[in-house]
Structure formats: C-alpha cells, structure tokens
Amino acid sequence: MKSLKITLLFCFVSVLAFGNNVSIKEKEALVALYNSTNGPQWINSWNLESPVNTWSGVTVSGDKVIGLDLSFNNLNGQLPDNIGDLVHLNELVLFRNSLTGYIPNSIGSLNQLQTLNLAFNKLEGNIPATIGNLKSLKSLQLFMNNLEGNIPPTIGELSNLEILELFSNNLFGSIPIEIGQLNQLKELYLSSNFLSGKIPSSIKDLTDLKILSLFDNKLIGVIPSGISSLSNLEELLLSDNLLYGYLPMELASLTNLKVLMLNNNDLKGDFDAFASELPNNIKFEYKNLEYRQTTVVGTE
C-alpha cells in the first residue's frame, strides 16, 4: 500500500513537472495572450504561478502546448505577435470573445494547426496571406468579424481544408480562382460579404463539396454550369446577388440537393419545368427575380 502511494505521488509530481517543462517561448506566448486580452477578467482565468498544464483551456502533451481553447471566455484585446511561437498547436479556438485588431502575420508559423477558429469576435483588417502556410489545416472559421480586403489567393494552398467559414465580414473583391484547389473542401461559407465579380469556374473542382453558401454578396454573371458536376452538393445558396442569365437546367441532376435558394437575382428560365425535375422534398426558392415572382418550397 505504501509503495502504491509512493508511485501515485511520483506520477503526480511527474505530471506537474511536464507542465513546468513547457518551453520558455511557448509559456511567454501564452502569458502575452493573457496580458494583451485582460486575463484577470477572463471567465476562467489563469494562475500564472501554477504549471501551464493546469491552465484552463490549455492542452499540454509532454513538454509541448498542443491545444488552446478559450471560447466564451471574455478575452478583450488584441492577439499578440508572438502567438506564432506556439508552434506545436493542433487547435486554436478563441470563438465568441471580444478580440480586436488584426490577425497577426505570425499566425502562419502555426504549421501544425488542424483547427483555427477566431469566429464571432471584432477582428479587423485583412486575412493575412501567411494563412496559406497552414498546410495541415482542416477547419478555418473566421466568420462574424469585421475582416476586410480580398480573400488571399494563398487560401488555395490549404490542401487539407474541409471547412472554410468566412461569412458575415466585410470582405470584397473577387473570389480567388485558387479556391478550386481545395479538393478536400466539404463546406464553403462566403455569404454576407461584399464579394464581387463572377463565381469562378474553378468551383467545379470542389468535388467533395456539400455546402456552397454565397448569398448576400455582389456577385455577377451566370451561374457556372460546372456546379452541376458537384454530385455531393446538398445546399446551394446564391440568393441576394446580381446573377443573371439562364438557370442551368443541369442543376436538377444534383440528386443529393436539399436546399436551392436563388431569390433576388436577375435569372430567367422555365422554373416550373426545372422544379419538376428536382429531387423530392427539396427546398427551392426563387422569388423576386426579374422574370418570375414565385416561390416554390418543396416538390412532390
């Protein structure tokens, strides 16, 4: 019994020791984040005198910080430049706080990241081009901020990306053609921005795509017929743009489609005939078009 207690004590001390063995750079980066975002006022604050692996939201493996999740934690302030020193992070989630200022270029140093979620904050400025360095990234969520400027073409270098959510920002310019290089992408949300130009034809290369949400922008031109080759597509949301021309009848061949929304564009075509070709139980809306003033919700 005595030996068991000694063993348990040794294990406990070892765990604490590992927490204290986090590199100076990584600990300094965490402390900088704490100081720059009013750490004492966090909902779950840190005792900076305690081992790093006891800090709320911090995941440590051995002597490396591999996870940081401070969602809903009342962070108020700017991200420090040296956040890029947390080079072993797999996950950085700062969702639903009050972060301000720019996303630092140093974010591109976190090349082991698989999840980056800075959504629902007050971040501004451009999405840094260095985002393209995050080759392991599977999920990028920056929605509900005040980000502006163009979507950087380097976004196309995120070859493992499955989820891209940039909706509800102030992004403008064209959707980069490089978006078509994201051949693992399953969900693309770019709605409620100020994006202009045409929907790039390269969108047809996103063969795993299930959700394409581009509504509430300033997109022009025809709907690319190549979208009809996206056989896994379940939701196609193009409402509230400046799209014109004929609706591609080939879209009716998307047998997995559950939602198709085209409201408030300048489209024409035989929508009744098109609706009759759609899969059963699809939600299809096309009101407030110049040529038709009709809404269809569901087909029999």
Q: In this predicted structure, what is the pLDDT of residue 7?
A: 39
Global confidence as pTM = 0.90
Domains of the chain, with CATH numbers? Answer: 2-285 (3.80.10.10)
% of the chain exceeding 90 in pLDDT: 83
Q: In this predicted structure, what is the pLDDT of residue 97?
A: 99
Reduced 3-state DSSP string for 148-185: EECCCHHHHHCCCCCEEECCCCEEEEECCHHHHHCCCC
Name the CA radius of gyration of the chain, rounded.
Answer: 23
- CA distances to 40, 51, 148, 235, 284 from 189, in Å: 35, 39, 16, 11, 19
Residue listed under structure tokens 């302030």: 77
Burial of 44 per CB tally in 10 Å (0-12, 13-18, 19+): exposed
Q: In this predicted structure, what is the pLDDT of residue 288?
A: 75
Mean confidence (pLDDT) of the chain: 91
pLDDT of 297 > 70? The answer is no
Q: How confident is the model at residue 280 (pLDDT cuts 50, 70, 90)?
A: confident
More confident residue, 152 or 282: 152
pLDDT of 2 > 80? The answer is no
Q: How confident is the model at residue 96 (pLDDT cuts 50, 70, 90)?
A: very high
More confident residue, 14 or 56: 56
- CA distances to 35, 65, 75 from 45, in Å: 11, 17, 10
The pair of three-digit structure tokens given for residue 93, joined into one six-digit string: 């989630």
pLDDT in tens, 132-150: 999 999 999 999 999 999 9
Task: Please report which helix (H) or strand (E) contains residue 280, including its range.
Answer: none
Q: How confident is the model at residue 222 (pLDDT cuts 50, 70, 90)?
A: very high
The mean pLDDT of 248-274, rounded to a whole number, is 93
The mean pLDDT of 5-21, rounded to a whole number, is 45
pLDDT of 28 > 60? The answer is yes
The mean pLDDT of 95-123, rounded to a whole number, is 99
pLDDT of 3 > 70? The answer is no
Q: How confident is the model at residue 283 (pLDDT cuts 50, 70, 90)?
A: very high
pLDDT in tens, 240-258: 999 999 999 999 999 999 9
- CA distances to 34, 40, 204, 234, 236 from 253, in Å: 52, 56, 14, 12, 13
The pair of three-digit structure tokens given for residue 234, joined into one six-digit string: 């379940």
Pair 202, 229: CB distance under 8 Å: no
